[in-house]
Structure 1
Amino acid sequence: MAVQPEGAPCWADAMFSDLEGAKSFYGDVLGWTFAEASTELGNYTEAYANGKAAAAVVPPMPGQEGMSQWCLYLAAEDAAATARKIRDNGGEVLMEPMQVADFGTMCLA
């Protein structure tokens, strides 16, 4: 994945109860194609636009059944330092920085 400027949107994923319906919808509307679901990552399924990874779809986690939501990720050079800045400026870190397979490091705030 290309390095993005600090704070630039760099990835998006979406949680859908009807994963096949979402794949059909985004395939029809945006022309996306989809990889096979990654069972080791909770059925995380990458979406491709023009052959390039564009986003991903995933089924709800336990307790979130029936919910749908998009999550936008912003680029950061250092996720731990960004988490500290979030707290220092009154924000809340919901999930501490963690490595996600070979995709990189993420946190949710």
Structure 2
Amino acid sequence: MTEAPEPGVPNGRAPARHRPGTPCRVSLMVHGMAAAQAFYAELFGWEFQPGPSRLGPCVRALLNGREVGGIGQLPPGRHLPVAWTPYLASDDVDLTAETVRLCGGTIGVGPLETGGTGRLAIGSDPSGAVFGLWQARARPDAATAGPLPGTPVWQELLTYETTGAATFYARLFGYERKPDGSADVDRVTLHLDGRPVAGVHGLGRALPRDRGPHWTTHFEVADTDEAAERLVALGGRVLTPARDTAHGRVATVTDPEGARFALIRSAR
């Protein structure tokens, strides 16, 4: 296994010490490390530093000196899906990983140490959607004043139906579940301490069979249309053209290796 906002209330505004269950980091496993770094550097302005060697070849992605994600190298010959993986904060990764198993999920990696920076595990929920758990050793970066272009600001789970999926994650972290409010849309928002932190969207048979249930990371951009055009010029692909939503202007895209994510200009 590998590793839309309630825009206007992005994860970047989370308290300096992440409450368990808060999306706190993202990672991507790729076949071509150099090409991936070049792509995201051009798209988001990221810079890179070497990551923990215990995890294999990997780099930390930085924006203005702040870590925004990580990129790792898939083992040669391993034909695994290339996908962004969100990590949920935990005060005790070992205990949370055991709870994942007890609630019907699986743990495929870890728990393990990451060179003194923290402890992680990577698993999947009962429907197969992959996510990570992260227990930081150091205090997280201070919150920013608002959504900064190039940073992950929201995580949304696309799955078959919301009831079972939301119940699983609520058992892990005690989320409060609030329905979308629309009778014809199966969507709920997960809240912690009254603050929206992630979404769950049930698509039923409309969920792509070649993808299955998965989390989608939304990255803030200054201009969704311009960012989508730049992405295509860099070798990426637009799956869903930019569109206006109640939360901002969003486009669903892939990088050159096929990793799906979303570009969003959050509603102000």
TM interval, short-chain normalised? 0.7 to 0.9
1:66 and 1:6 mapped to 2: Cα distance? 29
Pick one of 63, 85, 90 that aligns with 2:99.
Answer: 85
More strand by percentage? 2
Shift of 1:38: 5.5
Do residues 53 (structure 1) and 67 (structure 2) align?
yes
- Number of aligned pairs? 108
- Change beyond 3 A, Cα 1:34–1:25: same
Pick one of 21, 24, 32 that aligns with 2:38.
Answer: 24
Shift of 1:77: 0.6
Do residues 95 (structure 1) and 109 (structure 2) align?
yes
Aligned to 2:23: 9
1:55 and 1:99 mapped to 2: Cα distance? 17
TM-align CA RMSD: 2.1
Asked if the contact 2:58–2:71 (Cα under 8 Å) also holds between the matched residues in 1, the reply is: yes
1:32-85 deviation per Cα after TM superposition (whole angstroms, max 9, x unaligned): 011146655422111101111111111112442575222221100111110121
What SS is found at the alignment partner of 1:5?
A: coil
What SS is found at the alignment partner of 1:64?
A: coil
1:37 and 1:96 mapped to 2: Cα distance? 17
Asked if the contact 1:32–1:49 (Cα under 8 Å) also holds between the matched residues in 2, the reply is: yes
Aligned to 2:82: 68
Asked if the contact 2:54–2:114 (Cα under 8 Å) also holds between the matched residues in 1, the reply is: no
Select the structure of larger CA radius of gyration.
2
Asked if the contact 1:98–1:105 (Cα under 8 Å) also holds between the matched residues in 2, the reply is: yes
Asked if the contact 2:28–2:71 (Cα under 8 Å) also holds between the matched residues in 1, the reply is: yes
Give the TM-score, by structure 2 length.
Answer: 0.37
Q: Which amino acid aligns with 2:88?
A: L
Give the TM-score, by structure 1 length.
Answer: 0.84
Q: Which structure exhibits the higher relative contact order, with contacts defined as CA atoms closer than 8 Å and separated by 6 or more residues?
A: 1
* Structure 2 segments unaligned to the other structure (5+ residues): 1-15, 124-268
- Change beyond 3 A, Cα 1:55–1:64: same
1:18 and 1:52 mapped to 2: Cα distance? 24
1:74 and 1:26 mapped to 2: Cα distance? 23
